[in-house]
Amino acid sequence: MSNPLLQLKEHGQSIWIDYIRRDLIHNGGMQAFIDQDGIRGVTSNPAIFEQAIAQSNLYDEAMKSINESDTVRIYEILALQDIQAACDVFLPVYEKSNGGDGFVSLEVSPRLANDTQGTIEEAKRLFAEVNRLNVMIKVPATAAGIPAIEALIADGLNINVTLIFSQSAYEQVCEAYIRGLEKRVEAGQTISKIASVASVFISRIDAKVDKILEEKDLNDLLGKVGIANLKLVYQQFKSIFHGPRFEKLKQAGASVQRPLWASTSTKNPNYRDVIYVETLIGPDTVNTLPLSTLEAFRDHGVAATTVENHIDEAKQIMDQLDEAGINLDQIMDQLLEEGVEKFVTPFDQLLNSIEEKRGVLR
C-alpha cells in the first residue's frame, strides 16, 4: 500500500516532524522518516526538549562531560548538539529543494516572549552557534516578538514564527517578514537565501472554543472553528504573497513565507485523528506533525488538495460566532498568553530536572 505521507508533496505540502530526540538522530530513525515518509523538516520547542532530556537517560553521559555551572547553558549545549546533528541529517533535503525545505527549528527562551531586544540578541546568538544554513530560529508572535521578527529577517536569519492564532496576528507576522526583506533590499543585501514560516496553531483553538459553543448550544459548530480560521488564513496568505508588493521582492529573489499548521494532534477523541491534516492540504503549506499524528496519517490518511474547500462555509462560521457574541480575537489573545505559559512551564521543569540530574551524576 502506498504511503499517504509521500503523496502530500504532490499537493504542494511539506511535512515536518514536531519531535526531536538524540537517539532518533543517531540511530538512523530521523533518516528513515526522510526516506520512508518524505519528512522534510523538524520543529522543536521547550516541551519537546523537556520530554527528551528530563524524561530519559539519553543525555546523562553528555551532561557529565559539560563543564558548566549555569543550568540554562547546560540545556543550550545539549539542545544545540541535537539541532546541529539534525541539521546535518536534513542538509541533503535542504540542498535538493534549493533551500525550500530541510529546516530544523530551535526556539528562543520562552522567558523572552515579552522582551524584544532580548529575543533579537538570543536569536542571533543561537543562529550563530548552530552555524548551519538550514536552522530556523523560533520566535513567538507576541507584541514584543513582532518587531524582533522584522529585525531578525533584516539581519538575514531564517525565522519560524510560532504561536500565531488569529488572522490579525497572522497579518502582522507577514508584514514583519516583508518589512524585514524590504530593509535588506534597501541596504543592498541579498534576500534569496532567507526562509521563514508562520506557524498557525489549530487544535488548541477548538479545545478552547468548543467549551463555549457547548454552553451556547451551538453544537453544529463543534470542531469546525480551528479549521475555518486556518482556511481563511490561507486566503490571506494568497492575497499577501501573490500581490504587487511581494512581487517586487520575489523578483529580488525572495521566497514566500509559508503558513505552517501547528498543534495538529486531535485533542478531542470524538474527532478523526487526522482531521487537522486532511482538511488543510495545499500548495506552499507546511504541516508539522507529532509522532502519533504522523503514524495515524501514514496508516489511514487521505491526501487531496483541500485547503481551499468550503471557504464560504468558513466565513459563515466566523459570522455565526460574531452573532452569538463570541469574541474570537479575545479568545486568541488568551490562547497566545497560555501558549507562552505552556512553553515556560516545561522549560522551568527541564532546568529543574537538569539540576537534579547533575546532582545525581556528580
Q: What gap in Å lies between CA 196 and CA 160, rounded to an integer?
A: 6
Which grid cell sits at 345?
A: 512551564
Active-site residue (options: 9, 138, 193, 248): 138
236 close to 262: Cβ distance less than 8 angstroms: no
CA distance 104 to 89: 10
Q: 267 catalytic, yes or no?
A: no
**What grid cell was written down for 141?**
508572535
CB 174 within 8 A of CB 249: no
Residue 150 makes CB contacts below 8 A (sequence gap 6+) with: 176, 177, 179, 180, 183
- Residue 362 exposed, middle or buried by CB count within 10 Å (0-12, 13-18, 19+): exposed
Helix/strand/coil percentages in the chain, nearest 5: 60, 10, 30
Which residues touch 6 (CB under 8 Å, ≥6 apart)?
A: 37, 38
Residue tagged 488572522 (cell numbers)? 167
Instruction: Give Cβ neighbours of residue 104 (< 8 Å, ≥ 6 apart).
Output: 20, 41, 42, 44, 83, 86, 87, 90, 132, 134, 135, 136
Cβ burial of 254 (10 Å; 0-12, 13-18, 19+) is: buried
Contact 309, 303 (CB under 8 A): no
Q: How far apart are CA 29 and CA 341, in angstroms?
A: 31
**Cα separation of 110 and 296, whole Å?**
30
Cα Rg, the chain, nearest whole Å: 20
Q: Enumerate the active-site residues.
A: 138
